[in-house]
Amino acid sequence: MLRVILVDDEGLSLKRLSRILSESGDVEVCQTFLNPLEAYEYVKDNPVDIAFLDISMPGVSGMMLSRQLHELHETMDIIFVTAYEEYALQAFDISATDYLLKPVSAERVEQALHKIRKRTLPREGEPVLEVRMFNGFKLAHPGPDRKPLKLRSPKTEELFAFLLYKRSVSRDEIMDTLWGGFESEKASNNLNSNLHYIRKAMVESGLQACLLADRNQVQIVENSLSCDLYAFERLLRDIRLYRDGRKGMLKQAATLYTGPFLKGKTYDWASTKTRRLEQDYMELLELGARLFLEQNQVEQALQTYDQILLLDGLREDITQQVLRLLIGLGRTSEAIRRYRRLEEVLLQELGTQPSPPIREMMRRLNG
């Protein structure tokens, strides 16, 4: 069941689109909103697969809201609904899944939904590509031997990695990102050639087709592959939304995050994503440590905090937690060693001292 929200400042348009979607059979209209800000607050705390957004709204436009929603959930599909055809190119430039003109027909809505179903719903009986984007970039055939899938060139590989990262992206953004110094026609030719090389590699390997492309954008067919990034982000969303089963989901997430996103690749466009995913992983580790402490599993909590410090040794808040736990266990010598290590790292990296609360805690311990 696809979970959907609708946002439009016209009540009649909301009712019409809600009725059409409700009759489609596999769509749950979770909420409708006249106010874009209320829609944003709803998405913070609720899982949503698709957002149908009017473009021209007072205060917060549909374009602006789409960017805000993608900041919350990058994988959400955005479908714009508007009376103005001139917004189409701008919509696809920000990776909209589709663009519907009012008055919306049931047939046109079904076309948009079919595009999403075709890309995301599981397909049985055909081998899927295995993609690993953590701790490097690896493409492999399914099965025990996991034979690598080889692409034509490093640029073909970078294009595929970029498409996998974006999932749905306009041709203009691809060309600006990967062939920004080229003339438009040459950049377009390079894009088309490398898309051909990706498709050819998949066909020759007997794998499902993984790309949908039209004159405006390129999309990954998500059901044609198994990707650690997609699985990690689904778990991250579920962990944030649900309390039940968190411990099991945290373990799954830890098995997926095997190292930095696209480690070893020097793609400028990947740096922001790499930092965000590392922050997300540390957030999960902190949650895991708290769950261990709630169950009085102090050693496991300490090990989890140490994993955070391996990623970011400057996290004074985490070191403070570790020192408290060590002191509580009577392991004062180890606490002192940890504190001195923190002093050295802060002095070397930032030219500063530990925060006053940590210094005071250690002063009382030594005093």
State the DSSP H helix or E strand holding residue 51, giving kind and residue range, or none if neither.
strand 50-54
In angstroms, the CA 161 to CA 173 distance is 14
Q: Is residue 328 domain-shared with residue 260, that is, in the same domain?
A: no
**Residue 22's closest CA among 103, 101, 113?**
113
Q: Who contacts 180 (Cβ-Cβ below 8 Å, separation ≥6)?
A: 187
Q: What are phi and psi of 16, to 5 degrees?
A: -65, -50
How many Cβ atoms are within 10 Å of 273's Cβ, its own excluded? 17
**Residue 212's closest CA among 179, 251, 172, 169?**
169
What is the domain extent for residue 46? 2-117
Q: Evaluate the CA torsion angle 131, 137, 143, 149 in order and state its sign.
A: positive
Q: Is residue 280 domain-shared with residue 192, that is, in the same domain?
A: yes
| Residue-wise DSSP of 159-205 | HHHHHHHHSEEEHHHHHHHHSTTS-HHHHHHHHHHHHHHHHHHHHHT
**For the chain, how are helix, strand and coil distributed in percent, rounded to 5?**
55, 15, 30
pTM: 0.74
Q: Is residue 251 domain-shared with residue 175, that is, in the same domain?
A: yes
In angstroms, the CA 224 to CA 86 distance is 33
Q: How many domains does the chain have?
A: 3
End residue of a domain, out of 93, 117, 141: 117
Q: Which two tokens stand for residue 86?
A: 């001139």
**Residue 38's closest CA among 67, 7, 2, 72?**
7
Q: Is residue 154 domain-shared with residue 246, that is, in the same domain?
A: yes
Q: Evaluate the CA torsion angle 261, 96, 36, 23 in order and state its sign.
A: negative
In angstroms, the CA 319 to CA 365 distance is 15
Pairing of strands 138-140, 129-132: antiparallel
Q: Is residue 130 domain-shared with residue 250, that is, in the same domain?
A: yes
**Residue 59's closest CA among 4, 6, 7, 11?**
7
Task: Report the half-sphere exposure of 287 (CA within 13 A, side-chain side).
Answer: 20
Q: Is residue 76 domain-shared with residue 186, that is, in the same domain?
A: no
Give the residue carrying structure tokens 């894009």: 191
End residue of a domain, out of 117, 148, 169: 117
Specify the CATH number for the domain of residue 7: 3.40.50.2300
SS3 of 303-334: the string is HHHHHHHHHCCCCHHHHHHHHHHHHHCCCHHH
Tens of pLDDT along the chain (367 residues) come to 788 999 998 888 899 999 988 887 778 899 999 999 999 999 888 878 899 998 888 877 888 888 888 888 877 888 988 876 655 555 555 567 888 888 888 888 888 888 887 766 655 555 678 999 999 999 998 766 778 899 999 999 999 999 999 998 899 999 999 999 999 999 999 999 999 999 999 888 888 778 888 888 888 888 788 999 999 998 998 888 777 778 889 999 999 999 999 999 999 999 999 999 999 999 999 999 999 999 999 999 999 999 999 999 999 999 999 999 999 999 999 999 999 999 999 999 999 999 999 999 998 887 6
